[in-house]
Amino acid sequence: MTAKWLQAGVGLLLVVVASGCESSGAKDEPVPDSGTVEDGGAEPSACEKQQGVCAGATRAWVDGAYEPECTARSYGADYEAAETRCDGLDNDCDGVTDPPSWSRVTRLTQPLNGATVASLRTDSGVLVAVTESLDEVRILRLDSKLVLQGSSTVPSPWARTGEPPGASYNLRLVDTKDGPALYYATGSRTSGPPLRAYLVPLDSSGAPQSQPEGGAVDSLVLDRPLDSGSARMAMSQDGERLMVVWRSSPGPDLPAQLLGTVTDVHGQVLTAPKALFTLPADSNSHAESILWLRNGDVVVVTTEQLPPAMGDTVRLRRFDSNLELLGDERTFTTNNGSMPGLVDLGATRGGPLESPVLVLRNRNPPDWRHEIQVVRNLFGGGVPEFLAEAAIAPEIAYFNAFVDEGALRLAWLAVSKDTSLPSDGSMLGTQGRLWTQDEGHAPADRSPGPERLPLHAYAQWVLMEKLGPRRMGALYMTSTQEGSSLDAVRYCTP
């Protein structure tokens, strides 16, 4: 019995020893990405990159050896060879967190002023409308990286019908209940009457929709045989109605009026033209900005120029959906061309009368530096407050304001004359830098390099669109003797 027990015990011992040998594994069997496995007792050496998310990284053990050159296996899940994320981290470990990226969108056949360019974010990217020809508007289709994917054209009315040639301006790209649409106004090429405005529905690629018998679908939303000048518009938040505001042309020495009308997206008049403001006879005032509020009211801003070099008076009124005046007019005096613009910060910033703000431009002593101001609590006595400024006193700030999830974001070109260049009458010779600022944060220089941007006299605009979570894009124009270009920058927000 004792012999049998010993024999069984030895057998058990052999099984245990054999099992232990099998579990230890072969020496060259790979161990996944531990980064701590020793090779002959050697510790893994440090990786080449040691900034940002790569700080402290050592070489990972891959297929029986340490990586000869560190990859994402060594650097970790947050690493990117070329940084694309807006996450507050230095993902490519070059010492720069969330860097902007610049690109040239397209060459332009002629310089664009602010009335002949517009943009709109879509599900697939960004549409940009440009007027480079008197006979058509070109719609550029960009992806979310602001790379040009294609283009379409919207023929001008005279190109389609043979009516007397005119000029297009006041472009807007808007969201309607039926999808994106292009708005534009037309006048004669001598800046005279008639004044007309059109709404052209677009498909998802930015191409105009076609009628069964051929030609683009459009709606005539304003037809004023005796008026001329600008005709600005705003779309209601439900995408079903639009308001058009223009200046009447009563004749010499008679007070002009700022008139408004409301139509549906097919041009059916819902509210007949009404006088919104009476203007001085010698004033060239027009509607500067229009905003539909969330409660259906409409706010309109106009300016009146004071005597030469004295500045502007900014006038603001609120109307109901039938264009009846609500409350008292508000006025603000500025020392420079004010460029007033209305934006709504949204429900997170208060009720329909609390969230709208007015952004404008001013100059203040002692150095008369250009300053961007904001007026909050518009209908409760709010006054202009400092928001941003041009970095150098001679610079002029041409800005745009954008609302993103309740936050106010700015972009502006700080422009000054390049006195080293001869004045050749080409409207070149200005230079500048591109800046952005997010509410509650310091301004950021978004210029693509240390040199100042070469600009045209028409470069008095910046377009802004949201491209994704914490990602904004700005579009602007640069010009040299070789021509003009539409350029872009993509940048991260805080």
* HEC sequence for 390-436: CCCCCCEEEEEEEEECCEEEEEEEEEEECCCCCCCCCCCCEEEEEEE
Task: Count Cβ neighbours within 10 Å for each residue of 73-102 and write b for 16 or more, e otherwise.
Answer: ebbeeebbeebeebbebbbbbeeebbebee
Q: Report the share of the chain in percent with pLDDT over 70.
A: 88
Residue 286 has pLDDT above 60, yes or no: yes
- pLDDT for residue 214: 64
Q: What is the pTM of this model?
A: 0.87
pLDDT one-digit tens code per residue, 183-240: 999 999 888 899 999 999 999 899 998 777 666 789 999 999 999 888 999 999 999 9
Domains by residue range for the chain, with CATH: 110-387 (2.120.10.10), 390-494 (no CATH)
Confidence of residue 46 (pLDDT cuts 50, 70, 90): very high
What are the phi and psi torsion angles at 123 (to 5°)?
-65, -25
What are the tens digits of pLDDT across the range 442-465? 999 999 999 999 999 999 999 999
Residue 18 has pLDDT above 70, yes or no: no
Give mean pLDDT, residues 417-435: 80
Lowest mean pLDDT among 71-75, 420-424, 437-441: 420-424
Please state, rounded to an integer, the average pLDDT across all residues of the chain. 88
Looking at residue 213, its pLDDT comes to 67
Out of 34-48, 62-76, 95-109, 149-163, least confident range: 34-48
